[in-house]
Amino acid sequence: MIQSFIKKGSFQDSVSLMLISKKLSDLDEVDEVSVMMGTPANKSLLTATGFWSDRFNDATPNDICVAIKAHNDSIDVVDLISTQLEDALKNIAQQQQGGNKLLKARRYASATEKLPDANLVLISIAGEYAAELAEQAIDDNKNVMIFSDNVSVSDEIRLKTKASSKDLIVMGPDCGTAIIAGAPLAFANVIPKGNIGVIGASGTGIQEVISQITLLNQGITQAIGLGGRDLSQEVGGISALTALKMLAADEKSQVITFISKPPAESVKEKVISAMKLINKPIVALFLGSTINKIQDENIYFAKTLDEAARLACSLAKVEIAVHSLPRVTKQTISGLYTGGTLASEAAMLLAQELHLSVNKNHDKGIMLEENGHKIIDLGDDFYTVGRPHPMIDPSIREQEISKLGVQKSVGVVLLDLVIGYGANPNPAESIIAGYKAACAQRSSDNPLIAIVTVTGSQQDPQCRSQQIDVLTENNIVVMDNLPEAILLAKKLITPTKSMGLLKTYSLLNHISVINAGLRSFAEDLQSSNVPVVHYQWAPIAGGNQKLAAILKKLN
């Protein structure tokens, strides 16, 4: 038997009522209690879950429906639950009154008056009402994030199409995560600033990737949510394409990471085509989708969230270095290595990146020589006859580096620095001497850039960090590993493709939010110093659609 009652005219958000339901269900006198607003969707849910009472026929979307299952039908628990409900609602009201005063409005027009520069509306109201409010915001030239679910596909397509035509974005429906211009929207994390922009049709996917980025000591610019259906066949990636345009135009987003649950094949190809038009490296993770390529032009394909984060961080470090160095376009790369395996890997990676062939014979230590590019193993027997290995006596490499001063076509020299027991006590000193000698023979408009990777530990006699410090003090670039060093070298010699004049999106630089629905989202924004007004939304005319339509016409 279901015992029930209605609390008239007391609109509350769904999360608050879910928490109240859980608290009341824990009482010894009852088996379970369901507390919901009387919306059509909630009435259907009450029926489906076995909590329906005919009394709820009279409930409006502004009324609270309370259904009680009790193990002892002889006990009238309505009075008990009613009292407990009143206490819970009072506690919510008191909590809302405490702390910093939140700017509030009861009408959308009032919200826009109180925050005239608002450029995003965050919606977490009941799904059957979310589309109407979202359309109102788009018509008002505001971007939208729809946290609410239960929004129809047809409404999603209509809203996103309209927003796209106005250079706006709709994130959602069912978009749980976003961080825009530093503002935490819905479920968000505190992430350091960096140069990686993230786009995701997966809320927890975004959160996991940005968390891993943080663990790898990098940061993000934006995290743009799309909603789980955006890359479906029906929706067609409308917001994904807008988000790519936004990050393409965002100067701070030097690397883009794109995360999606399994997309429709045709939509995936459409998104990949859009990515190739962007002059930035992009990490793409299409979960559950088979892609046999590791890389396709500027796109790097990942298979897991962890791999996507690691790739993004590696590319981010390369981009930071690129933007701090002069370009040496259309010049060549020379590699002078003391370690044979390092030389071999460098040759292999460079051959992959520049579509060259490695030298299989390794004659005179030459691992690659094509189109002016050259990788040499100076530890080869050809160079060590009657002299110490260059890891012990680096003078031969110092001489080879200095010779690059007159080889004007060489723009980048790749070097290894190997430390540890048995190695030269200060190999950085030799590299610096050779590099200075080469640079002294160059003009300012024909620089030579040296990129070094260091093999060894902090505890080695030469001390890894001390070797790195002295190199960087002398304008020598140090990268963490060979793949990053090769990517950087390639970037420096490759002319950049022009994307033409791109539209800028002010949302990515400054955000002001109208929050409709969960008050906690507004409080999070306020605590993060984001301008916000909490729109205390409730169904117009008590949810009477005919009366609401009349009032809308009158307005």
- Last residue within a domain, chosen from 465, 493, 521: 493
Residue 284 sits in the same domain as residue 340 = no
Residue 32 sits in the same domain as residue 154 = no
Residue 29 sits in the same domain as residue 78 = yes
Record the pTM: 0.87
Q: Given the structure tokens 């140090």, which residue do they identify?
A: 478
Label residue 55 by pLDDT band (50, 70, 90). very high
| Pairing label, strands 220-225, 193-201 | parallel
Residue 159 sits in the same domain as residue 214 = yes
In this predicted structure, what is the pLDDT of residue 542? 56
Residue 208 sits in the same domain as residue 306 = yes
Is residue 476 in a domain? yes
Overall domain count for the chain? 3
The alpha-helical segments, DSSP class H, found in 100-221 are 108-114, 127-139, 153-165, 203-215
Distance CA 182, CA 186 (A): 13
The mean of the pLDDT values for the chain is 93
Is residue 240 in a domain? yes
330 has pLDDT over 80: yes
Residue 83 sits in the same domain as residue 152 = no
Per-residue pLDDT of 295-321, as tens digits, reads 999 999 999 999 999 999 999 999 999
**Residue 33 sits in a domain of what CATH number?**
3.30.70
In this predicted structure, what is the pLDDT of residue 136? 97
In this predicted structure, what is the pLDDT of residue 496? 85
In this predicted structure, what is the pLDDT of residue 497? 80
- Last residue within a domain, chosen from 459, 478, 493: 493
75 has pLDDT over 70: no
User: From the centroid of its chain, how far is CA 482?
Assistant: 26
In this predicted structure, what is the pLDDT of residue 547? 56
In this predicted structure, what is the pLDDT of residue 100? 60
CA angle 200, 206, 208 (to 5 degrees): 155
In this predicted structure, what is the pLDDT of residue 386? 86
DSSP sequence for 50-115: T---GGGGG--TTSEEEEEE-S-TTS--HHHHHHHHHHHHHHHHHHHHSSSPPPEESSHHHHHHHS
Residue 147 sits in the same domain as residue 293 = yes
Is residue 103 in a domain? no
> Could you check whether the bond before residue 173 is cis, i.e. omega within 30 degrees of 0?
yes
Task: Give, for 469, the enclosing helix (H) or strand (E).
Answer: helix 464-473
Label residue 385 by pLDDT band (50, 70, 90). confident
- Percent pLDDT > 70 in the chain is 96
Distance CA 433, CA 236 (A): 58
Q: How far apart are the first and last CA of the chain?
A: 46
Q: Which domain holds residue 89?
A: 2-97
Residue 274 sits in the same domain as residue 310 = yes
Residue 258 sits in the same domain as residue 368 = no
Per-residue pLDDT of 204-220, as tens digits, reads 999 999 999 999 999 99
Residue 197: what are its φ and ψ, rounded to 5°?
-95, 135
Give the residue-averaged pLDDT of 13-40: 91
Q: Given the structure tokens 């015992």, which residue do they identify?
A: 3
**Residue 144 sits in a domain of what CATH number?**
3.40.50.261
The pair of structure tokens assigned to 10 is 């007391």
Label residue 97 by pLDDT band (50, 70, 90). low
* Those residues with Cβ within 8 angstroms of residue 498's Cβ, 6 or more apart along the chain or in another chain: 279
Q: Which of 37-41, 230-234, 256-260, 267-271 has the lowest mean pLDDT?
A: 37-41
The answer to whether 144 and 536 are in contact (CB under 8 A) is no
In this predicted structure, what is the pLDDT of residue 227? 95
In this predicted structure, what is the pLDDT of residue 371? 96
Label residue 427 by pLDDT band (50, 70, 90). very high
Q: Which DSSP state fits 198?
A: E
Q: Given the structure tokens 């060894």, which residue do they identify?
A: 456
SS3 assignment, position 34 = strand
Q: Given the structure tokens 């971007």, which residue do they identify?
A: 143
In this predicted structure, what is the pLDDT of residue 545? 59
551 has pLDDT over 60: no
Per-residue pLDDT of 161-185, as tens digits, reads 999 999 999 999 999 999 999 999 9
The pair of structure tokens assigned to 27 is 């009482």
Per-residue pLDDT of 518-534, as tens digits, reads 999 999 999 999 999 99
Is residue 453 in a domain? yes
Is residue 538 in a domain? no
Question: Among candidates 508, 505, 507, 524, which has minimal Cα distance to 124?
Answer: 524
Per-residue pLDDT of 345-363, as tens digits, reads 999 999 999 999 999 889 9
98 has pLDDT over 70: no
- Last residue within a domain, chosen from 471, 493, 515: 493
Region of 535 (left: φ > 0; alpha: ψ -120 to 50; beta: rest) is beta
Is residue 508 in a domain? no
For residues 251 and 502, which has the higher predicted lDDT (pLDDT)? 251
The answer to whether 375 and 412 are in contact (CB under 8 A) is no
Per-residue pLDDT of 122-174, as tens digits, reads 999 999 999 999 999 999 999 999 999 999 999 999 999 999 999 999 999 99
The pair of structure tokens assigned to 99 is 């702390």
Is residue 426 in a domain? yes
332 has pLDDT over 90: yes
Is residue 26 in a domain? yes
Residue 251 sits in the same domain as residue 312 = yes
Residue 318 sits in the same domain as residue 354 = no
- 110 burial type by CB count under 10 A (0-12 exposed, 13-18 middle, 19+ buried): middle
Q: Which of 12-26, 462-476, 495-509, 533-547 has the lowest mean pLDDT?
A: 533-547
Residue 160 sits in the same domain as residue 255 = yes
